[in-house]
Amino acid sequence: MLQLICLPCVLLIRQTLLKQKAKSRYCYCFGYSYCYCYCYCCRCRCHCHCRCHCRCHCRCHCRCHCRCHCRCLPLPLPCLPLPLPLPLPLPVLLLLLLLLIVLLLLLLPLPLPPPLPLPLPLPLLLLLLLLIVLLLLLLLPLLLLLLVLLLLLLLLLIRLLLLLLLLLLLLLLLLLLLLLLLLLMLLLLLLILLLILLLLLLLLLLLLLLLLLIIIILLLLLFQLLLAILHNLFLNVSFC
């Protein structure tokens, strides 16, 4: 009874999606996943509902399909050409994230006890589950990218800290070099002052030597004068 209901819908959706395969690969993947989940959940939960729909709508169109597929599961999924996660651009991911947030805000405040029926129909719930799964699969690379970006930021911060430390070390080295230069300048000044003092001492010594020479010359002149005076006296005495 399940296949009497699901097979026409699945075949119709499959034909339409095969026609639109060249236009949109995402619709192709999403439609097949929706048909598969819908058939599986209808098989698990909707036996009575399938019987009433079978009597009303699917007497003529579904008998031929029922003979062929009465012992089979729903149509298997084809080989999906799309890798997971789907390479969607960033604006589409942001829109899907906003849609998920809105759906969660709409669904979470509603208290849903188990015995009560669900406020939303089963296809919408399956669509929401598929959207959540796809968004989680799409958000995984974003989370990985965020982690990579955080690691890169940490590496950049570490590099910046290392550069700052190197700059501080360079500044300290420059300060040390400046201090050494100042010390050298002070030493040079002290040496120059010592040289100047030595030159002054030499000049003083030269002056003292000159004074001694002058005094010696004066004494010699006085001694010659005394000798001349004494010689004159002796000459005068001898004439007398």
Q: For each successive 10 residues of the chain (240 residues), what is the average pLDDT?
A: 49 61 50 50 45 44 44 43 51 66 62 51 76 77 83 92 95 96 96 96 96 94 89 75
Q: What is the pTM of this model?
A: 0.33
Please give the tally of structural domains in the chain.
1
Which among 58, 6, 60, 29 is positioned nearest to 134, based on CA atoms? 29
Look at residue 162 and tell me if it is in a domain: no
Look at residue 101 and tell me if it is in a domain: no
Residue 17 belongs to what domain range? 1-77
Look at residue 63 and tell me if it is in a domain: yes
Separation of alpha carbons 97 and 101, rounded Å: 6
Radius of gyration of the chain measured on its C-alpha atoms: 57
Look at residue 234 and tell me if it is in a domain: no
Separation of alpha carbons 120 and 131, rounded Å: 15
Look at residue 178 and tell me if it is in a domain: no
Look at residue 171 and tell me if it is in a domain: no
Residue 216: how many CB atoms within 10 A of its CB? 10
Q: What is the reported pLDDT for 235?
A: 78
Q: What is the reported pLDDT for 4?
A: 47
Look at residue 153 and tell me if it is in a domain: no
Q: What is the reported pLDDT for 8?
A: 55
Runs of H (alpha helix) within 20-121: 25-45, 47-57, 63-69, 90-107
Look at residue 227 and tell me if it is in a domain: no
Separation of alpha carbons 200 and 108, rounded Å: 101
